[in-house]
Structure 1
Amino acid sequence: MRFTWLLSLLVLLSACTYTAKITDGNTAVERKQYDVAVPMLRREFKKAKSRKDKGELALNLGVSLRETAHDEEAADWFQQAYDNNAGPDALREKAAALKRLERYEDAIQVYTDLGFEIGSKYEFRKDIEGAELAMKWRDQEAAGKQREFTVQPASFNSKQSEYGPVYFEDRLIFSSDRQGGTSSEDYKWTGRGFTDLYATAITGGSVTPFDAQLNTADHEGTPAFSDNGKEMYFTRCFAPGKREDAFCGLYVSERTGDSWSAAKKVSFVKSGINYLHPALSANGQQLYFSALMEDGWGGYDIYVANRKVDGTWNDPILMNRAINTQGNEQFPSLDADTLYFASDGLVGMGGLDIFRTHPLANGRYSAPKNLGTPLNSGADDFGYTIVKRMGTGQNEKTLGFFSTARPGGSGADDIYEYSKRVLPPPPIDSTPIAYKNILDVTVVEKIYEDASNPSSNVRGLRPVPNTTIIARIGDQSRTVTTNEDGQLSLVLVDDQAYDFRAEREDYLAAEGNFSSRNLPRDPDAPDQRYELELEIEKIFANQEIVLENIYYDFNESFIRSDAQPTLNELSSLLDRNPTIKIELGSHTDCRGRDAYNQDLSQDRAQSAVTYLIESGIDATRLTARGYGETQPVAECICERCSEEEHQRNRRTTFRILE
């Protein structure tokens, strides 16, 4: 398992709510039951007659093989999909699979071809940069350059998944979905069990469940222990239908003697947010973790919470842009004041790579350093932990473990051992250091499969040249125009808040911000570059745009809590663009009486409008309109429509009025 279940838990939760029997591979993929999908899709592909059907089946088979850790075969099926008119998405998937397989030259060629096909080389610049860096490191290793790390698979890996090793009282505690776990059900994403916590000796040997009190039928993973061994923090993810809060949360258990108490949710954990991967400082006063929150920089970010006098925790603090990116930062671990973490937002070899950073004398963190090959690979590498050190100075050797999804292991994710030695210091450079932090602000827009239809598939992003950017720095403001690459580059001043607004005729304005507070001043990396994307949306007047994730209870029209984030985003868009007016539309499926559906859809549209008005949007800019069942997007005979087709027709939309 690639740990995708934690990255995509919301998708999983919606997928798991289906109870109907699955009879075809495409439905199995829609419901995230990838292990179930593979044999079905193989049979269906052999029987398919049209290229369209073959392309769809091959793409879904490639995805299913990817999600069940069979990248070599997945790459071939993605090519089959592309050859059968599945489009550039198939090539994008193939390139990512090739990168995970460390076939970097092939991956670069596919990414280059993709750039030409979708009309944007910008879209794949980081993928190519990472592949070129990996090739450089590989060539240096082949040329005999001294290596900091040597690695090998741990002896206790199974055919299932092992990850997240942590050293505790001469044992290694880790997560696994191996056979014999607490849950009696199979997890249909992988075809294996739910994850539990296990223990083994550092030197290998038998593997046993960690604690019967803590392992449950739900997912448990990524533990962290206090130095005195009396507290344990870990991640628990509930399956839907068992709890109201079906997200991943952080939990704490206390030890008395040899027994661990029933786990309690950590005090700052809020409902509706995914919290992952706790790590505790040596003095027990700081708790680091990864979470997906609205105040983050994008994707999962690393936060730190400080302990109160009463033992509870203050609200978490988002760590700065020296560490967090617009991608995912996860699996923090600590060695004294050195912070290790995994990121796919910093330039790396592919997937998650392991980085390290530490506080400098000036109070800032050093620029994150990629730990390079062979510790990192083209696949996901994460969960770095130190077991012991031997020797001192140049003779010091560090031993530990980490997790990886690289090919050649025993299962999906595996735990590897590493040995790290101290390399000779580089020659001393007496040249005075000139520090420079640069921010590249790029204005981008979506590339639609059908350029005239904002509801068509999005192929990628491309820069928008000659766009006006209003930059606000403190109480100062300046207006500039992006270059032909859609970019504005500026040298950052320390400890400043930067706010940007991008405007272009016939586009909706976009806004973004960046903080230069505590950016690195690292003598080993004095020049640092950061990126910020401002995505502007082309205005498609009088065209319907579906608002995702807005659902209503049966026969009800009130706005549920899970619909509020989407409406909040729409409210922000209207705030940024005060001159536009919109129509909020609501549609039902074909079941029920026409008049009833019309009234219900009008009530639902009005509920969305009322929510926006209460959010501060002027009522004169908003129109509510219920369409009932008169404008289905899935054309099917009502009695024969699938539940998925009914769901497509039950939608909330908006259109910009001229």
Structure 2
Amino acid sequence: MPSLNRLLILLLLAAALPVAAQSTAFTKDNFGDNKEGLREALRELKTGDEEYRADPPRYAQALPHFLAAQTFNPNNAALNVKIGDCYLNSATKTAALPYLRKAAKLDVTADARTHYLLARALHLSAKWTEAIGEYQQAKPVGNNTRNGDAQSFTANDLQRRMLECRNGQKLMARPARVFIDNAGPELNSSASDYGPVVSADESTILITSRRAGSTGGKKDPEGNGFFEDIYQATWRGKAWSAAANLGAPVNTDDHNATVGLAPDGQRMLVYAGTNGGDLLEATLGGATWDKPRRLNSRINTNSHETSASYSPDGRLLYFVSDRDGGAGGSDIYKVDLAGKNTPVNLGPVINTAYGEEGVFMQPDGKTMFFSSEGHNSMGGYDIFKSVYENGKWSEPENLGWPINTPDDDVFFVTSASGRHGYYSSDRPGGLGAKDIYRITFLGPEKQPVLNEEDQLLASRLAPVKQAVLAPAVAVATAQVTILKGTVTDDATHQPLDAAIDLIDNTSGQTIANFRSNATSGRYLVSLPSGTNYGIVVRQDSYLFHSENFDLPAGAAFAEVVKDIPLKRLEIGTTIVLRNIFFDTGKATLRPESTAELERLQKLLTETPALKLEMAGHTDDVGDAAMNQDLSQRRAQAVVAYLTQHGVAAARLTAAGYGETKPEAPNTTKANRQLNRRTEFKVTAK
């Protein structure tokens, strides 16, 4: 009797346990009288399988058919695997997870491939520990055949994936202090939007989009939306303007994608899918972009050249290529655009055995951002930072969670200040498959500050003191000065297309050449810290204009707006020579003055009838008579240089005005600096 009771108890317990889920086949035995529903589901399955088994598989076309069949029978393990696989090969990869979880529950004898796909979905959802467990169950498969296609994941592949998960665990435990905000409907659409590039002052942004309304109106045969077009927007103070299609000649019937933008926004790099993938350059000719021109054969090869970035002076190009001789999939190279040398691989500190992509050189000229599948990536491409100092690149630093995710994070750019970064990502709550996001860097965490004022809380009878964190603010990290403004005619105030030369005053060498915009007159020059810069603005029929920026190494970010009115060559016109320097309290010309003196000599040589008065000025510090004498001797020193270099003495006079003609009140250090100046006045022409 006791044995019978025990048996009954066991039977009752067994009945109370949940029945293990089982995969339901698409057969008439499982669906009774719903024959039409079954026939329709089988038709959807057949159509989906035709797309899924294509070479290469057409996941985007297969997915809606599989989803239709799944509404009829949600409990088929193989179908859930296929749906998960399609999502893993889409722009919304994390949508794969519930289907693959269900497939594993429906088929407790799931094969290694199902475990691998589930591991990938868990990995991409940042479920690190679970993902490692599934990778461990996905035994290496050397030639696992699916739908006629060879699928393999080796022991090395699995070890690499598990290492990425461990990297993710570490990085997620120390998140970066950032705000990540969707750039909004002005830039983003219901389609994929990506590849942002910005001007140094963050006034202009260009993006790539697959939205409706493309120039050619063609749709991608793989189901990824319309062909790519380039769009542009401008910053309106609080938000971007609506992104506008650039149209022809930049956009064509084929794919057209943004790659890079010069710091001044006057030159753009474009990717074209022809010849395996080439880089082109377009120039902003006034208000519209010119037709992109293919870069030379040192850069474009029969290999795949995918992304690029200018150095701040526009002379070097950093670009990505999978040409022979690299370290891995794609490597980063640099090349002198004006020279004839072969591109140089950046070497093993930067390039890995895996792929590198999305290179961007910050306007400070030494900080490079790029994406890599190697280093300590948490999965796919992660964004890294490296700094070039003392002749070598620093060890790449992962930008961390939540900027980087387990999915591909590529094509990251920053403003010159380093306060903001832009990239595309597929995140919950977005407007489309991929959206443009703006990252605000907050800098080191601030310590709590005890608020000494009593905070009366409704639920308390006694007042309490509250520890409050200082508000988060964007932090500028770059060591660069942005000089921008408008070049105009001094008399008419009309904008001018002027040449802008950037000179290293120490060496006397011209290190960069720019032009102001032909329509607006706007210009922007990026000045990395650590150099004494002379800036010369010139245009035919006008006298040149000079500015000086002496930026010591480590000088913090600054943005200077300087409008430049160019003066025509008229009697009585006065020009300040900002790049003539003297030893303190002396009339000895410093070597840094040479480039400015040579420009002045050239002006006199090219205009034989021109006569000038060289004038010296001081601030009001010290004795007035001494200042008068010093200013006279300094003016005479300039005249002496010019006559020694072939200018007739009869064409030059020297006048010292001491402290009698200040440009600004002598009340600040900056004003006194303005008043200590050398200038010339046209006396005949």
TM bucket (normalised to shorter chain) is 0.5 to 0.7
Name the CA distance, whole Å, in 1 between partners of 2:75 and 2:413. Answer: 51
Q: CA deviation at 1:23?
A: 7.4
Give, in whole Å, the separation in 2 of the partners of 1:49 and 1:100.
23
What is the correspondence of 1:105-254 to structure 2 with a 5 Å cutoff?
105-115=129-139, 122-141=156-175, 147-155=176-184, 156-168=187-199, 170-202=203-235, 203-238=239-274, 245=275, 247-254=276-283
1:369 aligned to 2:403?
no
Report what 2:294 is aligned to.
265
- Name the structure 1 match of 2:422: 401
What amino acid is aligned across from residue 73 of structure 1 in structure 2? A
Q: Which moved more, 1:174-183 or 1:404-413?
A: 404-413
Over 3 Å counting, the alpha-carbon distance change for 1:131 and 1:267 in structure 2 is same
1:27 paired to 2:54:
no
Which of 113, 122, 128 does residue 89 from structure 1 map onto? 113
Deviation at 1:94, TM superposition (A): 2.2
**What residue is the counterpart of 1:276 in the other structure?**
306
Matching residue of 1:326? 353
SS at match of 1:192: coil
Among 422, 430, 433, the residue aligned to 2:443: 422
Instruction: Supply the distance in 2 between the matched residues of 1:371 and 1:407 (Cα, whole angstroms).
Output: 20
Contact 1:233 1:278 in 2 (8 A): yes
Q: What is the SS of the residue equivalent to 2:431?
A: coil
Distance 1:35 1:316 in 2: 38
1:59 touches 1:86 (CA, 8 Å); kept in 2? no
Q: Which amino acid aligns with 2:50?
A: T
Q: 1:424 to 1:79 in 2, by over 3 A?
A: closer
**Alignment map for 1:184-583 (pairs within 5 Å):** 184-202=217-235, 203-238=239-274, 245=275, 247-268=276-297, 269-270=299-300, 272-309=302-339, 314-335=341-362, 336-361=365-390, 363-389=391-417, 398-423=419-444
CA RMSD in angstroms comes to 3.2
Residue ranges of structure 2 left out of the alignment (5+ in a row):
1-44, 143-152, 447-685
Provide, for residues 208-251 of structure 1, a one-character-per-residue CA deviation record: whole Å limited to 9, x for no partner: 1134211112222233233454432211124xxxxxx3x22111
Question: Does the CA contact (< 8 Å) of 1:380 and 1:406 recur in 2?
Answer: no
Q: Which residue of 1 aligns with 2:124?
A: 100
Q: Tell me, what secondary structure is at the counterpart of 2:96?
A: helix
* Distance change >3 Å, CA 140–CA 232, structure 1 → 2: closer
How much has 1:68 moved relative to structure 2? 2.6
Matched, 1:41 2:77: no
- CA 121–407 in structure 1, closer or farther in 2 if over 3 Å, else same: farther
Cα 1:90–1:314 change in 2 (3 A) is farther
Code of the aligned partner of 2:227: F
Note the C-alpha offset of 1:262.
2.0
SS in 1 for 2:415: strand
1:358 deviates by 1.2
**Contact persistence 1:196–1:215 (CA under 8 A):** yes
SS in 2 for 1:25: helix
The alpha-carbon distance between structure 1 residues 272 and 79, as it changes in their structure 2 partners (threshold 3 A), is farther
Larger of the two Rg values belongs to structure:
2
CA distance in 2, matches of 1:150, 1:179: 30
Judge conservation of contact 2:270–2:292 (CA < 8 Å) in 1: no
SS in structure 2 of the partner of residue 383 of structure 1: coil
Note if contact 1:222-1:278 (Cα within 8 Å) is conserved in structure 2.
Answer: no
Identity %: 24
Figure out how many residues of one structure are paired with residues of the other and give that number.
378
Q: Letter of the aligned partner of 1:295 in structure 2?
A: G
User: Does the CA contact (< 8 Å) of 2:373 and 2:380 recur in 1?
Assistant: yes
Match of 1:573 in 2: none
TM-aligned CA deviation for residue 117 of structure 1? 8.6
Give the SS at the match of 2:389: coil
Is 1:32–1:188's contact at 8 Å kept on the other side of the alignment? no
SS in 2 for 1:125: helix
Aligned partners of 1:270 and 1:201: how far apart in 2?
Answer: 31
Q: Which whole-Å CA distance do the structure 2 matches of 1:50 and 1:104 have between them?
A: 27
- Secondary structure (helix, strand or coil) at the match of 1:130 reads helix
Aligned 8 A contact 2:271 2:278 in 1: yes
After alignment, is 75-84 or 331-340 more displaced? 75-84
Whether 1:74 and 2:96 are equivalent positions in the alignment is yes
> SS at 1:278's partner residue?
strand
Contact 1:301–1:329, Cα closer than 8 Å, also in 2: yes
Contact 2:279 2:300 in 1 (8 A): no
Which one-letter code corresponds to 1:398 in the other structure? Answer: R
Q: Secondary structure at the match of 1:381?
A: coil
Q: Does 1:64 align with 2:64?
A: no
Quick one: structure 1 residues 23 and 266, their matched pair in 2 at CA, closer, same or farther if it must change by over 3 Å? farther
Aligned-pair distance for 1:252? 1.5
Using the alignment, how far apart are the partners of 1:175 and 1:308 within structure 2?
28
Tell me, yes or no, if the aligned pair for 2:215 and 2:247 is still in contact at 8 Å. Answer: no
Shift of the alpha carbon at 1:158? 1.8
For 2:257, the aligned partner's letter is: G
Residue in 1 that maps onto 2:635: none
State how far apart, in whole Å, the 2-side matches of 1:294 and 1:47 are. 51
Quick one: structure 1 residues 398 and 92, their matched pair in 2 at CA, closer, same or farther if it must change by over 3 Å?
Answer: same
TM-score normalised by structure 1 residue count: 0.53
For residues 74 and 160 of structure 2, the distance between their equivalents in structure 1, rounded to whole angstroms, comes to: 38
